[in-house]
Homo-oligomer: A and B are copies of this chain.
Amino acid sequence: MLRKDKIASNQGKLGVLVVGLGAVSTTFIAGVMASRKGVAKPFGSLTQMARIRLGKRTDNRNPLIKDFVPLASLDDIEFLTWDIFPANAYEAAMKAGVLQKQDLDAIESDLKAIVPQKAVFESHYVKKLHGEHVKSGANKMELAEQLMEDIRKFKDAKKISRFVMIWLASTEVYVEKKPIHDSLAEFEKGLRESSVEITPSMIYAYAALKMGIPYINGAPNLSVDMGAMQTLADQNKVPIAGKDLKTGQTLMKTILAPGLKARMLGLDGWFSTNILGNRDGEVLDDPESFKTKEVSKLSVLETILQPESYPELYNDFYHKVRINYYPPRGDNKESWDNIDIFGWMGYQMQIKINFLCRDSILAAPVSLDLVLFADLAARAGMFGIQEWLSFYLKSPMAAPGLTPENDLFIQQVKLKNTLRYMMEEDLITHLGLEYYDMM
């Protein structure tokens, strides 16, 4: 039983293993450090800022989530990172250009202490990048073991009691799911034989799960979205979550599409374009990496709108997503959506959304929440796919046979009711007839 008394203690150090030390990672790490020092606020994070309603509306019980469930404290976090460049977190953050110099200077020494380990990397899987700070080994299994060795050394050096790993590195080229991804035995054989079907992100995931460490897939890569990894997660009783952090345009889409559907407004087309000029934009300028991202971004409308249930409204909409590398913008991604809808008697309307966004600013709190909730899940004895964390993910994994849920608001209800369930509080249904004396 999931009972609150069975949740293991949140005391001791939490080792956060961050793959990639680019714009998102450095923004995430810097924000944790700045929040700890009290020089910035972790806006955007539910674990740090949000409240949860308990009981009836008139009970006025709305504690902070972090006072309601036993999360790890920011003060107990230690970071270990890997990257294909040797720059420390301060240097990497300056290069990323997301945070202003004055904000980084306030935590300069903390950031400089974060020096990445050599990465597992091959240009074959991310065509636009050429790393220099990479591991070498006889085969992919050996690379996995090197990662595990990095983690063990870190554990000893920092006296870590438990870990979470999160992938915040680049989008890999599109990989079709093959038999090798379905069976753990085949996969391990592939590791030993350095199969081309095994990408770096899978090697990291394998290392984590093998050590019983929860793994979060922040990119649209296959990673843990395959039978082999799920078998391993079940064997070792480890929570996993993915794929792809839900930020920017897709976040807006999963806010707006549920609204259109709630009102039974039909959809003729949804055209989404993006301009961005950071390393992410450069990577996605490669059609093979873009394909991976596109599949992730395109899926959300179908599952929200359910054309099979509403053929007259949603059967024939035209959905197109474009990502354009546009250097003048740096990390300040801008999206433009044009949405052609129709209502009563088929009359047409248009919605246009222009989002002057900062990708890493949206991704950082999502990273933090996923890490802290995955750690909570592990301590609560939950393992395998954590569907209740779909709220944070662009292309969430779900149990076999279930359609993933992309509606942000259903995801939110699911997340909050899961927390209430963990702590044995009543679930909220918003029925609310008890406030009225009406029959």
Chain A residues within CB distance 8 Å of chain B: 1-2, 27, 30-31, 34, 40-46, 49-51, 57-58, 62, 98-99, 103, 251-252, 255-256, 258-259, 262-266, 268-269, 271, 273, 275, 309-310, 312-313, 318, 320, 322, 324, 326-329, 334, 336, 338, 340, 342-347, 349-358, 360-362, 364-365, 380-385, 387-388, 391, 398-399, 401-403, 405, 408-410, 412-414, 417-418, 421, 427-433, 435-439
Contacts and interface: CB of A to CB of B under 8 A. Distances in A.
B418 A431 contact: yes
A31 to B, nearest CB: 5
A328 to B, nearest CB: 4
Given A275-B338, A351-B353, A362 B344 contact: yes
A271 B318 contact: no
Instruction: Determine the main DSSP class of A at the interface with B.
Output: mixed
A258 B43 contact: no
A428 B62 CA distance: 22
B324 A271 contact: yes
Nearest to A335: B351
A114 B298 CA distance: 45
Contacts of A269: 326-329
B264 A259 contact: no
A345 B99 contact: yes
A438 B264 CA distance: 36
Contact of A349 (B49, B361, B418, B438): B361
Contact of A436 (B44, B50, B340, B385): B385
Nearest to A326: B271
Contacts of A418: 431, 433
Given A275-B338, A326-B318, A429 B432 contact: no
B251 A263 contact: yes
Contact of A384 (B41, B266, B385, B436): B436
Given A57-B402, A354-B351, A417 B429 contact: yes
B262 A409 contact: yes
Contacts of A312: 41, 43, 49
B344 A44 contact: yes
13 contacts: A27-B345, A43-B343, A44-B263, A49-B310, A268-B328, A273-B324, A322-B324, A336-B336, A351-B354, A384-B438, A387-B432, A414-B430, A414-B431
A258 B388 CA distance: 18
Contacts of A50: 264
Contacts of A361: 343-345, 347, 349
A27 B365 CA distance: 37
A268 B329 CA distance: 9
Given A271-B324, A344-B365, A349-B361, 13 more contacts: A40-B346, A46-B263, A46-B264, A49-B312, A251-B259, A262-B412, A263-B362, A263-B365, A269-B327, A334-B338, A336-B336, A349-B357, A417-B430
